[in-house]
Amino acid sequence: MHSAPSVSYPLGRSRFMAAVLLVALLLGAAATASWWLQSPSPGWRLGGACAVLALAAAFAAWRWWHSAQGTLSWDGESWTWSGGRLAQAGAVEVGIDLQRSLLLRWTSGRQTQWFWLDRSRAAERWDELRRAVYSRARPQALPGARPSAAKP
């Protein structure tokens, strides 16, 4: 069995993630506005809901703005994330696959990071990236295991 070919893919701020966050913010704002319009007298709960919505919007914008940058690389056997000065070896796992966007979980030792990748960032390498993400790691033989041909 052959492994997927090597590929490098750029990481950065995802337009898809920005769109999802914006839609969630607009839905929250619409729900809060509807509550406000139906409430006979706005009280502290409505003010609290507005504050929570504003804090959530600020955190989402901050998180999007500080999205991981760099390059995610597959060399045929292992993954590497090069972000800034450091390159870290690790593993990826698919969280969400929407065909044109991927949410990947990056694990390196005890560090976990989530990456949104969009096809539009490097469309010519998208198919290679998807092959690499879904390729299986080479199986390691268990100690004392017999080859499958030797099984009765």
Residue range 79-132, pLDDT digits in tens: 998 876 677 888 999 999 999 999 999 898 888 889 999 999 999 999 999 999
Inter-residue long-range contacts of 25-32, CB under 8 Å, 24+ positions, other chains counted = 25/53, 25/56, 25/57, 25/60, 28/53, 28/56, 28/57, 29/53
pTM: 0.73
Instruction: List the chain domain ranges.
Output: 7-12+68-134, 15-65
Percent residues over pLDDT 90 in the chain: 48
In angstroms, the CA 132 to CA 141 distance is 22
Residue 141's pLDDT is 46
Confidence of residue 43 (pLDDT cuts 50, 70, 90): confident
